[in-house]
Structure 1
Amino acid sequence: HIIKDAGIPRGSYYQYFDDKADLYFYLLEQVRHRAVAALQQVMAKHHGDLFAAMSEFFGLTIDALVQGPHAALYRNVFLHMDFHSASKMAGSPLAERPRGHHEIHQYLLANIDRRQLRIKSDDDVSLLIRQIVGMFMQTIGYFYSRQTKGKEVTVAELKQRTNQILDWLQYGVASKGERH
C-alpha cells in the first residue's frame, strides 16, 4: 500500500528508492510539506497569535492523524519509530536540521506577535515553540499508547487535552500571586 499511496508505478520503485524505509520517509516528507502550509495559513489567520494558531493547527492535525486517509501510516510512525529510524530521518547528529524544519522555525520566529508574550528574545521564543511541539507529540504518543492498551480516547478528548496544556503554557497553573 505504501508504494500505491506514493503514486509511483511498481516497476519504478527501485529506480527512486533504496528500500521501503526510504519510500516511507519520502511520504512523511510530503505530509510535512502539507503540515507546514497549514501552519502558515493558521498563523496568518490568527495574526501571529501563537496559542490560537497552534490550537487550531493541532485540531486539524489531530483530525488528520486519527481520522484522515493516512491514519494507519501516522499510527505506524508513532508506534514503530525507533532510534535507527529517527536518526535516518533527522540525519547525523552533527548535521544541521533539515532545511524545512529550519524554514518553519524561522517562519514562526518572524510571524509570532510577540506583543502577546512576556518573552521577547529569539532564544526564549524558540524554547517556547519546542515546548509546545513537544507537548503535542507527547499527547499524540499518549493517544496511541492508550489505543494499544485497548483504552479508547476520543478525538474530542485528545483535542481537549491539547487545549488544556496550551492553556497551561499560556496562562500558567500557579494561583494568582504565586511566583517562584
Structure 2
Amino acid sequence: MPYKTFFNLSKEKKDRIIEAAIDEFAKNSYENAKLSNIIRQAKIPRGSIYQYFENKDDLYLYIIELIKDKKMEYLEKLLKNEEDKPFLNLFKELYIAGINFAAENPKFIKIFTNLLNLKGKMYNKIIKDSIVIATTYYINYIKNDQEKGRIRKDISPEIFAKLVIDLTMNISIENIKNNDYDNILERVNQIINIIEHGVTNGERDV
C-alpha cells in the first residue's frame, strides 16, 4: 500500500498518478508495464514515485484495491436490505451488475484481462483472495436460504458456493477477454436455471 507521503499529495497530483497507472496497466500486462511510462504520463520527477510506493508491486496492488472498492460501491445498492432475497436471485442480480460495471469501465476490465492472461504470482494472490471473500459471503446467504426452506439442508453450503463460483468464473474468463458480455449473461442464466430446476425431464425411473 502507498506510503503516507502519497496521501499527503494534492488530489490533483494523486489523481494524475492513479490515472497514469491505470492506463499503463490496462495497456500492458503487469510484467511488461513500466514505472517509467507512469512517471512520464503523470509528469512527476523520476525518483519521487519511490517516495509514494515501495515498488511496482505496491502500486499495482493499490490500483487493484481501488478497482475493487469502486466495484463494491457500484454493487452496494443491491446489497442493502437484501437478507431476505433468495441466494440465486441475488447472485444473478449481482452478476448482471458486475457485467454492467465491466462495460462501463473498460480500462478496469482490461487490467483484469491482463491479470487473467498472466497466471503468475499476482494472479494467484489477487484472484485467490477474491474467491475466499466471495465464497464466505455466498455461504452465509446459502445457509440463510436453508433456514428458510429454500435450499435443501443436505446440500453443503461450501460445495454449493464453490460450484456457483467455479462455473460462472470459467464463463467470465472465457468471454471477458472478447468483451462478449451478452454471451456471459446467457450462459450464466442457463447455469442458474439448471441449478434451480435440474436437468431431468419429468419423473426419474426407479
TM-score (norm 2): 0.61
SS at match of 1:47: coil
Give runs of aligned pairs for residues 7-156 of structure 1, distance below 5 A. 10=44, 13-36=49-72, 41-43=77-79, 44-45=81-82, 47-69=84-106, 70-80=108-118, 82-89=119-126, 105-111=135-141, 112-114=144-146, 115-119=149-153, 124-145=156-177, 147=178, 153=180, 155-156=181-182
* C-alpha spacing 1:68/1:89, structure 2 compared with 1 (3 Å): closer
Q: Distance in 2 between matches of 1:103 and 1:143?
A: 23
Alpha carbons of structure 1 residues 87 and 138: separation in structure 2 relative to 1, 3 Å: closer
Match of 2:194 among 168, 173, 177: 168
CA distance 1:87–1:109, change in 2 (3 Å) = closer
Paired amino acid for 1:58: Y
Alpha-carbon deviation of 1:20? 2.5
CA distance in 1, matches of 2:105, 2:121: 27
Q: Determine the C-alpha separation between the residues in 1 that align with 2:61 and 2:205.
A: 45
Q: Secondary structure at the match of 1:174?
A: coil
How many aligned residue pairs are there? 164
Structure 1 residue aligned with 2:27 = none
Larger radius of gyration: 2
TM-score by length of structure 1 reads 0.68
Q: What's the CA shift for 1:102?
A: 5.6
Deviates more, 1:69-78 or 1:130-139: 69-78
User: CA separation of 1:119/1:84 partners in 2, compared to 1, >3 Å: closer, same or farther?
Assistant: same
RMSD (Å), alpha carbons: 3.6
| Alpha-carbon offset, residue 110 of structure 1 | 3.3
Matched-pair contact (CA < 8 Å) for 1:3–1:23: no
Looking at structure 2, the residues matched to 109 and 143 of structure 1 have their Cα atoms a distance apart, in angstroms, of 26
Q: Which residue of 1 aligns with 2:36?
A: none
Secondary structure at the counterpart of residue 116 of structure 1: coil
Q: Percent identity?
A: 18
Q: Which runs of 5+ in 2 are unaligned?
A: 1-14, 23-41
Read off the aligned partner of 2:195 and give its amino acid letter: L
Tell me if the contact between 2:116 and 2:173 (Cα under 8 Å) persists in the aligned partners: yes
Pair 1:109–1:158, CA change in 2 (3 A):
closer
